[in-house]
Amino acid sequence: MSDIEEWSFPENLQPDNNDVGFALEAALDAVVTVRAEIPEDAFTASILGAERVGDGVVIRDDGLILTIGYLITEAETIWLTTNRGDVVPGYPLAYDQATGLGLIQPLGKLDAPMLEIGSANNCRRGDDVVFIGQGGRQHALKAKLIDKREFAGYWEYVLDEALFIAPAHPQWGGAALVGNDGRLLGIGSLLVQEAIEGETVQGNMIVPIDLLVPILPDMLSTGRAGTRPRPWLGMYTTESGKNLVVGGLADNGPAASAGVKQGDLVLEVGGKRVNSLAQLFRTAWRIGPAGCVVPLTVAREGDVLRFEIKSADRNDFLKKPRLH
């Protein structure tokens, strides 16, 4: 992604006060740039990079910032920039792997208003929304909610109902999805391909804000949600036609240590046939918490192999933030 000063949406794609029923400038100013530096030897550095740039949104009067968690996972240094040009250091307060959401505590006065939390349950397909990145109106996008459906990611991640919008924002990570009432509906996560009336277009996947509300107290007090950690396999699986293919493995992760190899076809988890990513992950999670043994059956070069994978808590593989 380029620096925020180098681009802007065309005027017809930018919202203005006539398009919305809320104070647009205040909503724009609630979004800040998040710049994170991660140690080169961090677990996620080879996948997500050692320098990450995205957005976050102020959700409380004390300056608490909500963002997408992958921006700040294993962050050693965080800098926050407001629309007024103020730069303040931040601390990676919490990261919830199940939802993908992260929290940042500014380590100084952040001169930015807060955006009130809303509910994605109240929005419908076809609704007009505004997707806001830091940088003011030129980085805010008029969009439509085109779908609400399940989403599964190869990194052992499932949302029961994610939000999908189009057109796509080029700086989606941590950007704020805002409804017609000016409240926060969700946080930008991914760039995706979406089908609209038979045509494939680029859009964004959004994590609904409703997932934050029940876990926020635990995230603030312990740095993660209070639910028991899910069993993590370290097995990056993809859907290829009707097959589930192991596309990669985390170095020294549970699946690799058990003998699973890239290219294996996943057949069963816990003795149950699995046909989709979401089914694979949910079946493994039902076996028990992190540390439980997950039986896995795969096909490899015509042979059927069975493994007993001692799962782990993915958080144990991550560098923890330093106390300031």
Binned at pLDDT 50, 70 and 90, residue 224 comes out as confident
> Residue 302: CB partners within 8 Å, gap ≥ 6?
none
**Percentage of residues in the chain having pLDDT higher than 90:** 89
Output phi, psi for 176, to 5 deg: -100, 125
Q: If you ran DSSP here, which 8-state letter would residue 292 be given?
A: -
pLDDT for the residue numbered 324: 53
Among 124, 155, 130, 158, which residue's Cα sits nearest to residue 142?
130
Q: Is 111 helix (H, G, I), strand (E, B) or coil?
A: coil
In the DSSP assignment, the letter for residue 176 is E
Name, in order, each residue with C-beta under 8 angstroms of 16's C-beta and a sequence gap of 6 or more: 24, 137
pLDDT at 116: 97
E-strand ranges in the chain read 31-37, 51-58, 65-68, 77-81, 87-95, 101-106, 128-132, 140-153, 157-166, 176-178, 184-196, 199-208, 235-240, 243-249, 265-269, 272-273, 293-300, 303-310
Query: Which domains, ranges and CATH numbers included, belong to the chain?
Result: 1-224 (2.40.10.120), 235-317 (2.30.42.10)
The pLDDT value recorded for residue 5 is 56
pLDDT in tens, 129-163: 999 999 999 999 999 999 999 999 999 999 999 99
Cβ–Cβ < 8 Å for 68, 188 = yes
DSSP bridge partners of 199: 196
For strands 157-166 and 293-300, give the pairing: unpaired
pLDDT (mean) for 290-319: 97
Q: What is the pLDDT of residue 256?
A: 98
The predicted structure's pLDDT at residue 2: 40
Q: From its phi and psi, is residue 83 left (phi > 0), alpha (psi between -120 and 50) or beta?
A: alpha
Token pair recorded at residue 24: 């647009």
Spatial separation of the C-alpha atoms in residues 194 and 204, rounded to whole Å: 9
